[in-house]
Amino acid sequence: MPIRRKAQDAGIFDPSELALLARVFERLKLESDSPDRLEGLASRILANYMAGILDEAELVSLSRQPLGR
């Protein structure tokens, strides 16, 4: 799963953080998504989380948008 690999590459997360990131990823991914889109989605989720967005609903909402917007 791209989100777990991205999270592991970014640093150390505890199991509850990984579970949150995985839930957000599952809510946003589509079956028709290309591998590149999934990588981008995982990167956005992780970047938003690392920027301090810890609320799951807010993380979902912000991660729908491209980074920097």
Based on the structure, what is the number of domains in the chain?
A: 1
Q: Is 68 a member of any domain?
A: no
- CB–CB of 22/3 below 8 Å? yes
Structural domain containing residue 42: 2-63
Q: What is the DSSP letter of 65?
A: S
Tell whether 50 is covered by a domain: yes
- Domain presence at residue 19: yes
14 within some domain: yes
Which helix (H) or strand (E) is 69 found in, with range? none
pTM of the model: 0.80
pLDDT in tens, 27-68: 999 989 999 999 999 999 999 998 999 999 999 999 998 766
pLDDT-derived band at 1 (thresholds 50, 70, 90) equals low
